[in-house]
Structure 1
Amino acid sequence: MGDPQDTSQALFGPITADKKSGFSMQELVTEFPDHPNDWSIPEAFLCLILSAAFADGRIAEQEQEEIRALSHRSRTLKNLDQNELAQVNRIVLKRRADRPDWLAEACEALPKDMHLAVFAHCLDIALADGVLVPSEAEFLEKLIGLLTITEEEAKLITKVISLKNRF
């Protein structure tokens, strides 16, 4: 018979694996950061979609139509009545004019699980008039960084939204 130490034909043997870390509340730190931010989610959302439209220095009729439609579809904005939406719009325009870091603040105020959708909406609005100019591309690239969107995610969203706006 073979050597009792020979385990080359053992059917079951011990495995060495890294111990999985257990549940950690530290993962929530990125979702609920420890810094004051006075932006509400609707304010931040409206700020980013309006900024996508303004990125080329003008707001085309198609971009306005897309924003109006989005305000009726989006759960973030559709629960606001016309007066509340106008108030949010005034707040956003004032913050954009008064604060040098308005873009970073608005991005920071959004929950992480909104980042991809907001980027997709912004790209859709920028492409609504059928043209993407360098200033719009620059704005969208800033968003990718501030919303911590990976290159793969950005490419996939860009491909889908580009196709949507092409046809």
Structure 2
Amino acid sequence: MGLFRKLFRDQKLDPNSLSQAEALAAIAVAALAADGYLLDEERQSLVSAMAGLQVFKKYSSQQRLKLLEKLFDLLRQKGAHTLVHSAKDALPPKLRETAFAVAINMVMADGTLVESEREFLRQLEEVLEIPDAVASQMVKSMLIKNKG
């Protein structure tokens, strides 16, 4: 069992407490917190990303903002590890790669990728059970996307 899984064991929210959309957003919120800072541009990047995802099409902008506040509160109360593991349990396998892609985009929102963010992505890859080759290609693609 990997270190990240050991850290997450027995540290979950109620498995029914997050919808699929909330779980996807929870992964993104945890990604934003990976470097220990939350810049306005990162928060805005998350709001924009949510608006473009199919799982949030039925959410108004007000509902998305309310959801983010709920998730930031959970992050402060329970920590990123609990939030990520609980989100994983709520995400169907088909949305785990989407969540990983959103997380990559979030950690790169400020234009830098620090070691704590790299480590977060490595751990998230393991928790979400993303195959190494897929994760590597996704990171490479996002690096190219965010250069411009």
Q: TM-score, normalised by structure 2?
A: 0.79
Q: Deviations over 1:97-134 (max 9, x none)?
A: 33362220112211110111111111112112211011
Q: Which residue of 1 aligns with 2:146?
A: 165
Q: Deviations over 1:1-42 (max 9, x none)?
A: xxxxxxxxxxxxxxxxxxxxxxxxxxxxxxxxxx94321112
- Name structure 1 gaps, 5 residues minimum: 1-34
- Residue 46 in structure 1 maps to residue 17 in structure 2: no
- Name structure 2 gaps, 5 residues minimum: 1-13
Give the letter aligned to residue 148 of structure 1: E
- Residue 67 in structure 1 maps to residue 46 in structure 2: yes
Structure 1 ranges of 4+ moved more than 4 A: none
Q: Which residue of 1 aligns with 2:124?
A: 143
- Residue 57 in structure 1 maps to residue 36 in structure 2: yes
CA RMSD in angstroms, aligned pairs only: 1.9
Aligned length: 133
Out of 74, 79, 90, the residue aligned to residue 109 of structure 1 is 90
Out of 9, 13, 16, the residue aligned to residue 37 of structure 1 is 16
CA contact (8 A) 1:42 1:88 kept: no
Task: Give how far 1:59 is off.
Answer: 2.2
Decide whether aligned partners of structure 1 residues 56 and 36 sit closer, same or farther in structure 2, where only a CA change above 3 A counts: closer
Give me the whole-angstrom Cα distance separating, in 1, the residues matched to 2:121 and 2:147.
18
- Residue 155 in structure 1 maps to residue 147 in structure 2: no
Higher Rg:
1
The range that moved more, 79-88 or 65-74, is 79-88
Give the letter aligned to residue 77 of structure 2: D
The range that moved more, 82-91 or 148-157, is 82-91
- Residue 121 in structure 1 maps to residue 102 in structure 2: yes
Q: TM-score, normalised by structure 1?
A: 0.71
Give me the whole-angstrom Cα distance separating, in 2, the residues matched to 1:36 and 1:50.
18
Higher relative contact order (CA 8 A, sep 6+): 2
> Percent same amino acid among aligned pairs?
26
Task: Give how far 1:162 is off.
Answer: 0.8
More helix by share: 2
